[in-house]
Amino acid sequence: MEENVINEMQKEAQNNGYFGIYGGQYIDEELKTEFNNIYSKFLELKNDESFQKELMDLLQHFSCRPTPVYFAKNLSEKSGCNIYLKREDLNHTGAHKINHCLGEALLAKKIGKKKVIAETGAGQHGVAMATAAALLGLECDIYMGEVDIQKAMPNVYRMKILGANIISVRHGQMTLKEAVDAAFEAYLNEYETALYAIGSVVGPHPFPSIVEYFQSVIGKESREQFINMTGGLPDCVIACVGGGSNSIGMFDGFIDDKEVKIYGVEPLGKGEKIGENAASLTYGREGVIHGFKCLLLQNEDNTVADAYSVASGLDYPGVGPKHCYLKDIGRVEYKTINDDEAIDAFYELSRTEGIIPALESSHAVAYGLKIAKENKGKKILISLSGRGDKDIEFVLKHYPREI
Ligand SMILES: *Cc1c(COP(=O)(O)O)cnc(C)c1O
């Protein structure tokens, strides 16, 4: 991609957070002022050496960064390609989410906030946020749908042990979308003392840009590690896309390398019909959700559709605005993987490499194995966004596989 396109993108990010026609701030004026204040403070801190150092220190010593790029030898031999995994699953708390949670919590602390407020679906973002808040001495309110609370009890226990306050949301579907609504509403009354710490590269400007910045460490490390290991760049880079944070963080490292093909993988769930999947970039139409514009899964009457995937970290009806833009300009190709293919990849990686992946990450692995078949000899780098410990009970119950 041309250098001027990249510059243009950066300019657009600063232009009230628009990426092409996507992003922006569809919120009331009072919050706009507050969010713009947060953004200028963030930009200041981003360029402040002591903030950088403190963040680096946390990532290194608390979360075990840099996470390795691992050459998956057995899988490579089996598939006829060279498959490399960026091991975000080895982060403390088991996924990439801690990268932006540490960033957001440190940001909150530096700008004088006492509390972080967050939403969570399956509890992964909630646990990472509660962890960062405990470490940095912040109060932590987590909004979670009652249905999700019942489904993800172990994560609820973790958050409680870490000292977070869980607020059950009991309207509508009682899942992630309502939890975000409730967290936003609460934030309106508390923004002077609290920071809203969103779980992905979604929401109104400046959240997509802030979360992207904190996740870009994935791509930055990966590019350097890959060159050190192989003497060159990968032929293609793959990551799963829920809200889009691990993927955008990975893609940022390679977006200027025109020769590297980039694939984002969305969940096709049970099928192509609206309601059966969570593939917003593939089946969505332009729309507004949670204060920003994106490709959005919608019913015929333009209401927000239910999103579904076997991987609960991927079932959001919207998607980060920059992904929508990258799709429009053709720099990233977005593909889909269904539930069954993801489960196959879950078992394949577990039994071939001894690594149990998160069901979310299994989507990226599944697509990697798919292109390996058609592109023998290529070097494929996959973002392994998280580990599968959280999924083992569910998989054995619903998708048991005897040896
Ligand atoms: C939450 C989650 C995702 C999806 O979120 P993104 O913002 O799209 O990265 C993917 N993988 C894991 C392991 C997760 O916990």
Convert the pLDDT of each residue in 77-129 to its tens digit: 999 999 999 999 999 999 999 999 999 999 999 999 999 999 999 899 999 99
Instruction: Please write the tens of the pLDDT for every residue from 274-302.
Output: 999 999 999 999 999 999 999 999 999 99
Tokens 């998280």, residue?
Answer: 386
CA distance 385 to 364: 9
Tokens 């992207």, residue?
Answer: 212
Tokens 């919120």, residue?
Answer: 27
Residue 151: predicted pLDDT: 85
Q: Which of 92, 180, 385, 387 to mutate to test the pocket of ligand 1 (most atoms within 8 A of CB)?
A: 385
Instruction: Please write the tens of the pLDDT for every residue from 347-383.
Output: 999 999 999 999 999 999 999 999 999 999 999 999 9
Written as one string, the DSSP assignment of 33-72 is HHHHHHHHHHHHHHT-HHHHHHHHHHHHHTT-PSPPEEE-
Beta bridge partners of 216: none
Rounded alpha-carbon distances, angstroms, from residue 86 to 66, 198, 223, 236, 331: 10, 24, 10, 13, 21
- Provide the b/e sequence for 258-296 (b: ≥16 CB within 10 Å): eebbbbbbbbbbeeeebebbbbbbbbbeebebbbbbbbb
**Which residues have C-beta atoms less than 6 Å from ligand 1?**
95, 97, 124, 200, 240-247, 313-314, 358, 360-361, 385-386
- The amino acid occupying position 89 is D
Percentage of the chain exceeding pLDDT 90: 91
Instruction: Please write the tens of the pLDDT for every residue from 317-331.
Output: 999 999 999 999 999
Q: Which of 89, 125, 240, 294 to mutate to test the pocket of ligand 1 (most atoms within 8 A of CB)?
A: 240
Instruction: Please write the tens of the pLDDT for every residue from 116-134.
Output: 999 999 899 999 999 999 9
CA distance 379 to 381: 7
Q: Does residue 5 carry a pLDDT above 50? A: no
Residue 1: predicted pLDDT: 44
Q: Does residue 262 carry a pLDDT above 70? A: yes
Whole-number average pLDDT of the chain: 95
State both tokens at 319: 């998607």
- Ranges 1-5, 237-241, 338-342, 376-380: which has the least confidence: 1-5
| DSSP letter, residue 117 | E
Instruction: Please write the tens of the pLDDT for every residue from 22-55.
Output: 999 999 898 899 999 999 999 999 999 999 999 9
Residue 16: predicted pLDDT: 76
Determine whether 216 is an active site residue: no
Helix (H, G, I), strand (E, B) or coil at 98: helix
- Distance from the alpha carbon of residue 237 to the mean position of ligand 1, in angstroms: 16
Nearest CA to ligand 1 atom 10: 360
Q: Does residue 2 carry a pLDDT above 90? A: no
| 237 — pLDDT class (breaks 50, 70, 90) | very high
Distance of CA 239 to the CA centre of its chain: 10
The model scores a pTM over 0.85: yes
* Ligand 1 atom nearest to CA at 241: 8
